[in-house]
Amino acid sequence: MSEFEQPAPDFTNQEIKEILLRHYGLIATVAMLVGERDQNVMVTADDGARYVMKIANVAENAAILTLQNDLFRHLASAAPDLSMALLYPALDGQDLVQIPTKVEQGFHLVRMMTYVDGILLADTDRSQQQNFNIGQYLGGLSKALAGFGSPAAFRPGFLWSLDNAASVGRFANDIADAENRQLVERAFERYTSLVQPKLGQLRKSVLYQDANDNNIIMCPEDPDKVAAVIDFGDVAYGCTINELAIALAYMLMDVGDLYGTARAVITGYTARFPLLAEELEILFDLVAMRLVMSVCISSNRARDFPDNDYLTISQQPAFDLLRKLDSLNSDFLSCFARECGAFDAVETYPQVINWLNNNQQAFKSVVGFDIQSSSRILVPMTAGSPGTEFILDQQQYAEWLDAGMDRSGAKFALGAYMEDRSCYVMEQFNSVAGESRSVHLGIDLFTAAATTVHAPMDGVVVSVQNNDAALDYGPTVILQHQAGANGPVFYTLYGHLSLQTLDIVAAGQNINAGDIIGTLGDITVNGGWAPHLHFQIMTTMLGQHGNFNGACEPAVANVWRLITPDPNLVLGLAHESFNQDIVSPAELVKSRAEILGPSYSLSYDKPLKIVRGQGAYLFDHSGRQYLDCVNNICHVGHCHPRVVQAIADQASLLNTNTRYLHETILDYSDRLLATLPDHLEVVYFVCTGSEANELALRMAKVFTERRDIITLDWGYHGNTSALIDVSPYKFNRNGGKGKKDHIHIAELPEANSSKPLDHYLTSVQNCILSAQEHSSQEHSAGDGPAAMIAESISGCGGQVILPEGYLQKAFELVQAAGGVCIADEVQVGFGRTGKGMWSFAAQSAKPDIVTMGKPMGNGHPIAAVVTTRKIADAFANGMEYFNSFGGNPVSMAAASATLDVVGYARDHAVLLSTDGPKNTVIKIKPPMVISLRDADRLIAVVRRALEKLMS
């Protein structure tokens, strides 16, 4: 006979008092405690000390009780910090006492334990801290028991061993309710096919396996702290993971916050006793199996002992929890348990993310237009966000959204990933786990119905399915991809498509990046939503087919984040796209007009608020990406990391002026001079191109002791008074006061002009003559031009390439007349034309002074003047040259790093050359990091614009 078929002993108070006196020498009062198969007695000795007497069932195996006693003694030494009841030996020193039975042959074994003062867990207010502490306590117990062994712990047929779960299958028929019975049968099916085969490989140890809320005693002074666990009747050897599974089965009954409670217990447990991934993966299946065992055994007991309430007391909550677990995705629960146990929720996640990050440049747009560079608005759907008042009436929502998109000229509207859409109050988003599924797992692209949807990368169609329930996805395409040749597979989902989509692709079909895989559906077919694409990435299908969770409970959002990573890994939208801009461009325009000088100009009818630059791109406040083809300053790309780092490093170390010694200025000057002809050997540093030209003019005047200047028509050389005077582009246009008498304008020559070179050289010669004439009238000392200043390619003149040899000959004429020749390389220097570092060199010109700036520091204000020793010596006439900022160590670091990158880029042939067509000139001056792909894009845009102009 097993102990299950014997009723619990029922000694009277008087009989127990006699036992206490005889075997323990105690005079005591007694009170009965509950027990399923043993008689448990609360003992209070006359000295106030309290004990629990446990009178074993007559059928109890002495070896099992000895096993428990051995275990108590092991714990007392192996885990002294684990609060526990202690054995109280009898007068003869034994841990076990034999008491004859009252009715038949045999005896009961009696043990005494110290009483642990406390409150039953069942009688406390529950908290997550308490759950965590219980997990931690049990982790400590498992850790201590890992070092314990006893032959008696092998209980192969023991009914309550979770490893023997299959053996209670025979009781399933005792479950009266058909639905409950089916629930149990489903759990058995899953267990036998998926879980049982894995058990053989798992770690084993001696287990307590009875952490229920009547066996966990909490401290009276702090009910969140465990004082002890009691009732070691189920101790047996088995899979180590069973301990936590059994505890969870009890801890999760009747709780509202299933995930929060489970997380607290698991993280507490694993903090003390780390679990293996394969253990965590089956944890919730074992929880379900423990519940199945409870209801099976209690249903069977209930049949044989209809009066014993204790047997059925936990049946209802057990069925309720079983039903919840049954309705949750068990693969998700495995991911959840892995994550709680500090593993990646999905094993392949890091590889997939890595591959997506490395390949993002190659992905195609998921819709029929380029989303990076299209105008957009962000539509938040968090509590109280504008528009959410219409969320339950999607027709109205769609109208509200369209109006908003029209107002800002947006091509699409963006719904964010991981956004808590508390507006999702529809019943479809309810969850059995407590909270509603309000956290969005995809990215929404709201745009016109019928917009084509494209595969961003190669893949295979897994499913094309119409999920036509209200508020579902409607027609849905799921693709499978591979993260590299030997990499893991992952999936992408496209929801809310059109019925037509069902005919566009079919399951099993191979898809190439860019292929059309569907079109967007309208509200009548797409689940009842404003037209949009729900795009999502999945690292696992969680055993599902044709559909996948698009929203999750907030409590487990951090697990879902690892199952369905950020779709922007594929979309590649600038991060600004997901931030609501605080200060709008319109507000900035207004305050700018109030505060800044009115002669500042703004580009474009709708001025741009540019917030970030990277390489050849600029990004506005809404994350819209622009290919920057008008910036010749950020020469090696916006915010080039090497330049940024050099500036940051030097700025955090020192920034002073040139009155102190510093190597960088000299190293840089050496490198710069090495790129220039030998006769140019002295360097001056300034902060702007204007300053450089201003200094160059001063030098020329000091050197020649003249003041007349020859300049090319349409030239622009800077914003100072003296430079406006030499810039026909300024003085002959809006607000200009015309040419001054000491300025002489040479005709701007053009490479493809029908006029001969001599025609233009004659124009220079005429300037020399008029300078001589003018200077002799005005100055006793002067007898000709002080200087000729010229760009080697005329920028403001319209990127005009000078006829071959023009600059060489023009400079020679001026030099022969005693003038100094200044090559203004501010715009075209540093390799910007793609033909060598300096444009004057392409003209074989031999300037006396070269000025440079703009691209020199990749956006950092630094410029320079380089000249001959002779001019430099003449300029050193006693007056000090000082510049507060020019040549400071930070500027020099910026210039040095830029030069490093220019050198590197040239070696890798990434420079592009430009050619100026006749008369009608489109200025193209992108950072030199522009890619071929972007150059193609630029050409396509220009072509479209030109075609539009022509039509």
Give me the residues that bind ligand PMP (CB under 6 A), please: 688-690, 693, 716-719, 791, 795, 824, 826-827, 853-854
Least separation in angstroms between residue 831's CB and ligand PMP is 16
Contacts for 747-753: CB closer than 8 Å, 24+ residues apart: 747/713, 748/712, 748/713, 748/714, 748/715, 748/794, 748/797, 748/800, 749/800, 749/802, 749/803, 749/806, 750/800, 750/801, 750/802, 750/803, 750/918, 751/800, 751/801, 751/802, 751/803, 751/804, 752/918, 753/803
What is the rounded CA–CA span in Å between residue 204 and residue 240? 5
Name the residue nearer to ligand PMP (CB basis): 388 or 690: 690
Least separation in angstroms between residue 888's CB and ligand PMP is 17
Least separation in angstroms between residue 352's CB and ligand PMP is 48
Contact between 687 and 862 under an 8 Å Cβ cutoff? The reply is yes
Name the residue nearer to ligand PMP (CB basis): 795 or 916: 795
DSSP state of 165: G
Least separation in angstroms between residue 602's CB and ligand PMP is 17
Q: Which residue has the tokens 């709780």?
A: 255
Which secondary-structure segment (H or E) carries 794? strand 793-794
Backbone angles phi, psi at 551, to 5 degrees: -150, 155
Least separation in angstroms between residue 711's CB and ligand PMP is 11
Q: What tokens were used for 431?
A: 């969850």
Torsion angle, alpha carbons of 359, 360, 362, 368, to 10: 150
Least separation in angstroms between residue 928's CB and ligand PMP is 17
Beta bridge partners of 612: 619
What is the rounded CA–CA span in Å between residue 724 and residue 736? 9
Least separation in angstroms between residue 746's CB and ligand PMP is 16
For residue 948, the Cα-to-chain-centroid distance in whole angstroms is 41
Name the residue nearer to ligand PMP (CB basis): 550 or 797: 797
What is the rounded CA–CA span in Å between residue 881 and residue 467? 78
Name the residue nearer to ligand PMP (CB basis): 435 or 824: 824
Least separation in angstroms between residue 647's CB and ligand PMP is 18
Name the residue nearer to ligand PMP (CB basis): 442 or 689: 689
Short-list 522, 500, 501, 572, CA closest to 402: 522
Least separation in angstroms between residue 861's CB and ligand PMP is 8
Name the residue nearer to ligand PMP (CB basis): 464 or 633: 633
Least separation in angstroms between residue 683's CB and ligand PMP is 17
Name the residue nearer to ligand PMP (CB basis): 717 or 809: 717
Least separation in angstroms between residue 715's CB and ligand PMP is 7
What is the rounded CA–CA span in Å between residue 591 and residue 583? 11
Name the residue nearer to ligand PMP (CB basis): 40 or 631: 631
Q: What tokens were used for 656?
A: 């002073």
Least separation in angstroms between residue 493's CB and ligand PMP is 51
Name the residue nearer to ligand PMP (CB basis): 451 or 794: 794
Beta bridge partners of 785: 708
Least separation in angstroms between residue 922's CB and ligand PMP is 17
What is the rounded CA–CA span in Å between residue 564 and residue 635? 39
Name the residue nearer to ligand PMP (CB basis): 99 or 724: 724
Backbone angles phi, psi at 88, to 5 degrees: -120, 105
Instruction: Please state, as a whole number, how many other Cβ atoms lie within 10 Å of the Cβ of residue 648.
Output: 12
Q: Between β-strands 708-712 and 743-746, what pairing exists: parallel, antiparallel or unpaired?
A: parallel
Which secondary-structure segment (H or E) carries 765? helix 757-778
Name the residue nearer to ligand PMP (CB basis): 99 or 852: 852
Q: What tokens were used for 29?
A: 């009062």
Q: Between β-strands 97-100 and 50-55, what pairing exists: parallel, antiparallel or unpaired?
A: unpaired
Backbone angles phi, psi at 478, to 5 degrees: -125, 130
Name the residue nearer to ligand PMP (CB basis): 284 or 838: 838
Contact between 925 and 629 under an 8 Å Cβ cutoff? The reply is yes
Name the residue nearer to ligand PMP (CB basis): 539 or 693: 693
Least separation in angstroms between residue 404's CB and ligand PMP is 40
Name the residue nearer to ligand PMP (CB basis): 255 or 636: 636
Residue nearest to ligand PMP (CB): 689
The tally of CA atoms less than 13 A away on the side-chain side of residue 875 is 23
